[in-house]
């Protein structure tokens, strides 16, 4: 997956789910703008209101 595709997934969310073990991390499953299904683990920083991708996979 390209960087651009990874960045698209949190903004096209089908589902955000809290990570079961790590506080502040979420598992996001959605599609890229090109229609590829992907899962991205992100870290959400509430103080800065920013989302940082940790890992991503096409599914």
Are 12 and 6 a contacting pair, CB within 8 Å? no
User: Pairing mode, if any, of strands 25-31 and 50-58?
Assistant: unpaired
User: If you average pLDDT over residues 13-29, what whole number do you get?
Assistant: 90
In percent, the amount of the chain with pLDDT more than 90 equals 73
Number of domains, the chain? 1
**Is residue 31 over pLDDT 90?**
yes
* CA 36 to each of CA 2, 50, 51, 55: distance values in angstroms, whole numbers, following the listed order: 11, 24, 20, 16
User: If you average pLDDT over residues 5-24, what whole number do you get?
Assistant: 89
* CA 14 to each of CA 26, 29, 32, 40, 47: distance values in angstroms, whole numbers, following the listed order: 13, 6, 11, 12, 24
H/E stretch holding 3: helix 3-8
Q: What is the pTM of this model?
A: 0.83
Domain span including residue 18? 3-58
């Amino acid at each position: 997956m390209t960087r651009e595709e990874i960045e698209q997934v949190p903004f096209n969310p089908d589902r955000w789910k809290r990570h079961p073990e790590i506080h502040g991390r979420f598992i996001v499953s959605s599609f890229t703008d090109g229609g590829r299904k992907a899962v991205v683990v992100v870290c959400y920083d509430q103080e800065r209101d920013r989302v940082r991708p940790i890992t991503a996979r096409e599914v």
